[in-house]
């Protein structure tokens, strides 16, 4: 069994920032986890494996025990750098191979 879960995540923004950086994308996800679950509940390792700034889309890896928490935080996030937003999980899989078609799109 895999130790990680992989997600293909898009960020839909009400207005586009100048250029979205992977570090801001990741920090928004991490802040969402902490905001929803607190300092201890949101404490996990979150990795952005691949990022497409043009389409605001990323392949994210999270430990399997935090998968449900991350999905919850993604669903409840409504703001990114003071801009209204919504995260969309395009696809999720316990194996990176399960996102093969997502890599082709990025």
Model confidence over 18-49: pLDDT tens digits?
678 889 889 889 988 888 888 877 778 899 99
**pTM for this one?**
0.86
Structure tokens at 85: 């937003």
User: Which residue bears the tokens 């497409």?
Assistant: 52
Beta bridge partners of 61: 6, 47
- Confidence band, pLDDT 50/70/90 cuts, at residue 5: very high
Give the domains, in start order, of the chain with CATH numbers: 4-96 (3.30.70.3250)
End-to-end Cα distance, the chain: 26
Nearest by Cα to 5 from 77, 81, 66: 66
- Confidence band, pLDDT 50/70/90 cuts, at residue 67: very high
Total length of the chain? 106
The rounded distance, in Å, linking the Cα atoms of 44 and 50 is 19
> What pLDDT is attached to residue 18?
66
């Amino acid at each position: 069994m895999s130790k990680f879960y992989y997600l293909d995540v898009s960020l839909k923004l009400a207005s586009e920032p100048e250029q979205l950086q992977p570090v801001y994308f990741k920090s928004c996800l991490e802040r969402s986890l902490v905001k929803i679950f607190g300092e201890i509940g949101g404490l996990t390792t979150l990795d952005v494996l691949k990022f497409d700034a043009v389409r605001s889309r990323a392949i994210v890896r999270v430990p399997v025990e935090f998968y449900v928490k991350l999905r919850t935080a993604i669903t409840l996030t409504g703001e990114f750098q003071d801009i209204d937003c919504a995260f969309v999980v395009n696809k999720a899989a316990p194996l990176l191979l399960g996102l093969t078609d997502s890599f082709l799109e990025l």
